[in-house]
Amino acid sequence: MFVLQRMASTTGLLLHPPLVRPISPNVSTPRFFLAVATQFAGNRDKSLFHRKKANGFSTSIAVATDSSAPSIPTQNEDLVDTHKEESEKIVLPTNESSEKLLRIRHSCAHVMAMAVQKLFPDAKVTIGPWIENGFYYDFDMEPLGDKDLKKIKKEMERIISRNLPLVREEVSRDEAQRRIEAINEPYKMEILESIKEDPITIFHIGNEWWDLCAGPHVESTGKINKRAVELETVAGAYWRGDEKNPMLQRIYGTAWETEEQLKAYLHFKEEAKRRDHRRLGKDLDLFSIQDDAGGGLVFWHPKGAVVRSIIEDLWKKLHRERGYDLLYTPHVAKAALWKTSGHSDFYSENMYNQMDVEDELYQLRPMNCPYHILFYKRRLTSYQDFPIRVAELGTVYRYELSGSLHGLFRVRGFTQDDAHIFCLDDQIKDEIRGVLDLTEELLLQFGFNKFEVNLSTRPPKSVGNDEIWEKATCALKDALSDKGWGYQIDEGGGAFYGPKIDIKIEDALGRKWQCSTIQVDFNLPQRFDITYVNSNSEKKRPIMIHRAVLGSLERFFGILIENYAGDFPLWLSPIQVRVLPVTDAQLPYCKEVTEKLRAIGVRAEVCQGERLPKLIRNAETQKIPLMAVVGAKEVETRTVTVRSRFGGEIGTITVDDFAGRIKFASENRTPF
């Protein structure tokens, strides 16, 4: 992780929300957590998150680093010094940094399973692993509710208080089978059949309960701090993740080493909940997913569409400046195209069914790549034409199970900021460097200045010869070195058709999101037999580079909503100004002011029908950055009294001055 530049909105949390919902695609697990437990027990006003008077949401918090974590730059020292008197530093370890925590969480899963079967004797157990922020266990049983969770938690506390030993035992496969049959646990029998090693390992809690398990665990239940354990939620989960199998009850829990760590985690969880893009999307009228249309299909409402338009316009501008040609291509194609590309063979489970059109099969596109290749193939290409860069905001459709859909983060139809570069072998480095520069420039516009970069190399099974793999991998490394970006190597983690760079951004809560990908491809040029004519008039195969910066507009919008907690900066806010009359007598002038602002591109609206205090409160609730209050005096002097959501009352200024300051702030991405 590295910081590109120092920004006012720097924050220090590196926690991730609990697994109480379908996991968002490509959201990484932080390697370690940083958290601050506030002294809210004695003073509720000493909040963890300190609001700044800036045109955007920012936070300042004290942080502490985990010395055993990978080397990652620490936060701004000024932030640590500013608030160290208000906040108590607490390090939240991870499963990777603390074996003790891992043992606690794994043992908690077993204790919970024992508690469930004590309270619900007919419940059948399946699996119960530790996970990022805690643990879970799946049960085949009747649906559970909140009251049931409270009963289970109390029973867990009793088991912990008894300080029962956790004892490891090794038995033969036949003995394990006999014991499983004796207690009638069919899922355990299936698990036993999947275990290839002998002997079979069993862990006992006292002499009362046991489970197939390789460990590790704490020595006894008393090693678990019962005040640092919490049951969070119940969710449905198919056995083995297969919708054809029975639906199980999955109970999620979190466990920490100390009560203070749990409090810090729960506090962070509440903040993440406050920023949930699904709730904010509804409250701010940004987007919706309509049941009548179908799950995973996004409706962009007018306000959300404004933000999307700003993102698209900026994206197009930067791409044109960097030599990309923009394309628009069809949403469907003949099924034969997807056969040629290999998607029908290797990606069919993510594709929608084929449709018959005049006795020919067509299919919705899951990717844009084949279309860009067809564009390349439309004419003969010379080596002198390279590099060729094409880009498209292309909507694709991918089948997702209804249970995996999640707001804007997991949908069935979405728009990728897709681009492909066709180039020569010796141009790979410069083209990759150009993509890195574009990625930095675009993401910085939205306030993302902390990146984690991973370079994935050749896997055991791959296409392409050793020489081209070595050349491409070295080009990626050289481009990253030229850029001055640190990176981690994922040995063997590349796709079978080429090495790649993945870039994760860090949001205001420290969560890492996979957005940008740069992928060298040796496969599709071969499958589509694309060529160029070299200086000797010979046909050769070009290099193809896939790349996306934002990932998809839907998902990136969701990240933006949560990053800003819906408080978009002035330049990005769907409504920049709300003009508020003191009485209806000022309405004509309010409309005149609004029209003048709109004429220069300011997004303004008039709001009326309530008393002024209510109008101001409504604007605050809707997170409008600026309010222009108009009374009789303002009409007489041809002015407005400006109130900022973040800075309070600014004063009375002329409409021209007001408009000019908004325009300047928007164009320069600065506060008003």
**Active-site residue numbers?**
369, 398, 416, 418, 420, 500, 546
CA pseudo-torsion sign 652, 658, 662, 665: negative
Can you spell out the DSSP letters for 497-563? TB-EEEEEEE-TTS-EEEEEEEEEESSHHHHTT--EE-TTS-EEPPEEEEEEEEEEHHHHHHHHHHH
Q: At what angle do helices 655-668 and 587-599 cross, to 10 degrees?
A: 40
Identify how many contiguous H helices and E strands the chain contains and give both numbers.
19, 32
Interacting residues of 384 by C-beta distance below 8 A, sequence separation 6+: none
What residues form DSSP beta bridges with 583? none
Retrieve residue 45's tokens.
């006003």
Comparing CA positions, the residue from 510, 523, 518 lying closest to residue 551 is 518
- Nearest residue to 644 via CA among 614, 613, 671: 671
Q: Which is nearest to 488 in space by CA: 475, 497, 477?
A: 477
| Cα 555 from chain centre | 7
- Residue 354's CB: how many other CB atoms inside 10 A? 15
| Torsion angles phi and psi, residue 573, rounded to 5 | -65, 135
Beta bridge partners of 2: 451
Cα angle 162, 166, 169; round to 5: 145
> Beta strands of 306-365 (E only): which ranges?
325-326, 332-334, 355-357, 360-364
Task: With residue 250 as reference, give the H or E element that holds it.
Answer: strand 247-255
